[in-house]
Structure 1
Amino acid sequence: MIIKVCGMREAHNIHEVSQLGIDWVGLDFEPKSERYVSQISSCAGIIPDYSSLSDLSSHDSSQQQQRPILCGVFADDMPQNIVTRVYNFNLDVVQLNGEENMVMVDNLRRTLDPDIHAGIKIMKRIVITKREDIEKYKEYAEGVDYFLFDIQDNLKDWSILEAYEGKIPFLVSGNIGIEEADKIKTFSHPQFYGISINEKFETAPAVKDVALMKNFLERVK
């Protein structure tokens, strides 16, 4: 199970959190977000030098001692903006949170891979308010690498995800906090790949509580 920490922005905070052994760092490029990473920023200004880290862990042992996967979060953005950020921040994953269709996804992948970032991965977020929402995955089943099932507050039981019959790995998000540690440890699905955490671990927008996150990781790993 991978741990994605989304909504990060401060280099020092990213450095501290990375040393805990998290797998993905999420950078939010949605302009209306409190955690928005400004377009004028660049990798050099926000992403720390991971070569100095000595205790990174990863689901892939070959990535030991390297930086976490960098995931850029977008919603109905113009393709050229996404391409610019992939290049400037050396993003490994593009997460699409809007109403993007498969034509857009296909065109984006062709533009990025291999010229901008060979092997770029694309993840589509699907908001889950009821069981039927899971069926939306079928629209993207042939064109994305991961799904992010964003479970809304009205749903407390992750067993609803048993309805997912696809072959593409998925992450789960949805206001996940330390109180969900036991639920995460007992949840099982053949395509369950990891979780995405954010607000419940913040002291301020885009600033993660390192001690709280360390406690959480010790409980779920």
Structure 2
Amino acid sequence: MKLVKVCGMREATNIREVEQAGADWIGFIFYPESPRFVHEVPDYLPRKSKRVGVFVNAPKEKISETISLFGLDLVQLHGNESPEFCENIRRSGVKVIKSFRVGDEFKEEEVEPYHGKCDYFLFDTQTSLYGGSGEKFNWETLLNYRGNTFFLLSGGITPGDAEALKTFSYPKCIGVDINSKFEISPAVKDAKLVKQFIKVIKNPGNKIDNKTLLI
């Protein structure tokens, strides 16, 4: 694993702490139904970590406005956005991540039309929600993924998954997306836990200190 995205950030001090903990990408959720909804620009935004804006079926105008306001590097589309819509957002000069919900079986036919229209995919757990369920899916289903688009693994990843993630090997998986299982409260992350998790999955010789596994 080379890349760690920490999603659902909102508080300035916590954003700075998570960036210093080593997060490669930091995600901001612009979906009003989410308890991690960002309704205003924080006093601090990442300077080293890439800024990712998460949207669910938002109009292009709103996404474009937010890209400019927050200086976003990537846009993550978590709704029912079409391949054409993804390509259109991509023309704004940002990279596009399209999220897909994975159930008991991996459905290649759902992702196939998006190849070449997005920069990355994100595979999350299939629930009635648009992500953020805190539930995990069977990672082995991704062995049926035949595409060439690189992806991030998401869905209920916990600090205790660090050891398993060190052995998770798939050539198109570039990293993980963590969120609720690292939280003290909605949108507030335990930066020490994030830091240790990152160290473990990026450095095979390290191990998780069980005393810190409070979640």
Give your verdict on TM over 0.5: yes
What residue number does 1:28 align with? 29
Q: CA deviation at 1:136?
A: 1.5
Distance 1:132 1:2 in 2: 23
Shift of 1:106: 2.3
Q: Which residue of 1 aligns with 2:5?
A: 4
- Note the 1:42-53 alignment, pairs <5 A: 42=41, 45-47=43-45, 50=47
Aligned residue number for residue 170 of structure 2? 189
Give the whole-Å Cα distance in 2 for the aligned partners of 1:184 and 1:135. 27
Task: Return the TM-score normalized by structure 2.
Answer: 0.85
State the TM-score, normalizing by the size of structure 1. Answer: 0.83
Identity of aligned residues (%): 41
Pair 1:212-2:193 in alignment: yes
Aligned to 2:148: 167
Unaligned runs of 5+ in 2: 127-134, 203-215
The residue matched to 2:106 in structure 1 has which SS?
helix
Query: What root-mean-square deviation, in Å, do the aligned CA atoms of Structure 1 and Structure 2 show?
Result: 1.5
Q: How far apart, CA to CA, are the structure 1 residues paired with 2:145 and 2:24? A: 24
How far is 1:134 from its partner? 4.3
Distance in 1, Cα, partners of 2:136 & 2:71: 36
Mapping for residues 48-197 of structure 1, pairs under 5 Å: 50=47, 67-110=48-91, 112-113=92-93, 120-152=94-126, 153=135, 155=137, 157-197=138-178
Going by fraction, where is helix more abundant, 1 or 2? 1
Give, in whole Å, the separation in 2 of the partners of 1:174 and 1:92.
Answer: 22
Aligned 8 A contact 2:182 2:189 in 1: yes
User: Does the aligned pair in 2 maintain the 1:127–1:133 contact within 8 Å?
Assistant: no
SS at match of 1:95: strand
Q: Go from structure 1 to structure 2 and tell me whether the alpha carbon gap of 1:108 and 1:217 turns closer, same or farther (over 3 Å shift).
A: closer
Residue pair 1:93, 1:121 contacting (<8 A) in 2 also? yes
What is the aligned length?
193
Distance 1:73 1:29 in 2: 6
